[in-house]
Amino acid sequence: MLQVDQMGNVFDFPIIPKRIISLVPSQTEYLCDIGLQDQIVGCTKFCIHPNNIKQNASVVGGTKTLNLALIQSLKPDIIIGNKEENEQIQIETLQKDFPVWMSDISNLTEALEMMQKLADLFQKAREGKQICNQIADNFAVLNQAKNPKKVLYLIWKDPYMLAGKQTFINDLIERMGLENAANELPNPNRYPVITLSEIQQINPDIILLSSEPYPFKEKHRIAFQQLLFSASVQVVDGELFSWYGSRLLQSCAYFKQVFQAS
């Protein structure tokens, strides 16, 4: 059974892999949602959905701090990771001993491709297609009318960092017909650093403070509101903006709620 992942790695599985280690929280949740939870023998400490995932799966470290010896001891048939979430040197080490299926995602189209590829790999094509079709349908009816509002989406503090161009979050923002204000920076790609004075100069209409990876709280929202009185400032659920898996089923309804409040 020949399979190609999103980084061009080719696999030939004689049988369907049974012992799975998943190194990315959003992909772990998706694998469970297509019926593979009982086959996941390892996941990261950040894999929190479903909430009982760690009852039977061993915790193999963080996404960027993997316990390679523990992974070796679990003898997986397949490891599933992501180019951005996992460290290249650790992935390359694991690839010496195990098939490591890698995703590489910067937009919704690639997220849907990942989900269908994994569903096909584990012979869960029907379950995967059902989830992918529902996500695609939800986004198809999302308001895509051009909106002049400029959005800054902050993911980190000290230093402040934004979700810029060439990111999954940016693709979702643009699908809502909004403009990513990171475009006004000299280098808007990936996750640029920004200062408070630059934020004031850009003067965005909307500032979104993500709940992850930095856990922005109400006190941060108040501080930004005092910095820019005219902006709409909200703390938002980072999972629904950045998890490229079945959590996307909930994203469109949440986006409408967020931007109606803006």
Whether residue 145 is contained in a domain is answered as no
Neighbours of 148 (CB within 10 A): 8
Q: CA angle, 115 as apex, 113 and 118 as ends, to 5°?
A: 105
Range from 62-71, 146-155, 156-165 carrying the lowest mean pLDDT: 146-155
pLDDT tens digit string along 204-220? 999 999 999 999 999 99
- Are residues 107 and 60 both part of a single domain? yes
Provide the domain limits for residue 84.
2-139
pLDDT tens digit string along 216-233? 999 999 999 999 999 999
Picking from 34, 65, 60, the residue whose alpha carbon sits closest to that of residue 47 is 60
Whether residue 104 is contained in a domain is answered as yes
**Is it the case that residue 196 has pLDDT exceeding 70?**
yes
pLDDT at 1: 74
- Are residues 72 and 195 both part of a single domain? no
* Under 8 Å between Cβ of 137 and 193: no
End-to-end CA gap in the chain:
49
pLDDT at 52: 97
pLDDT at 142: 80
pLDDT at 141: 86
Number of domains in the chain: 2
Amino acid at 230: S
User: Cα–Cα distance between 112 and 54 in angstroms, integer?
Assistant: 26
Which CATH number fits the domain that encloses residue 96?
3.40.50.1980
> Please, which residues have CB within 8 angstroms of residue 124's CB and are 6 or more apart in sequence?
34, 35, 36, 118
Picking from 262, 258, 259, 251, the residue whose alpha carbon sits closest to that of residue 168 is 251
Domain stops at, among 88, 111, 139 = 139
pLDDT tens digit string along 12-25? 999 999 999 999 99
- Are residues 158 and 243 both part of a single domain? yes
pLDDT at 80: 98
- Are residues 112 and 184 both part of a single domain? no
Task: Report the number of secondary-structure helices (H) and strands (E) in the chain.
Answer: 10, 15
pLDDT at 147: 62
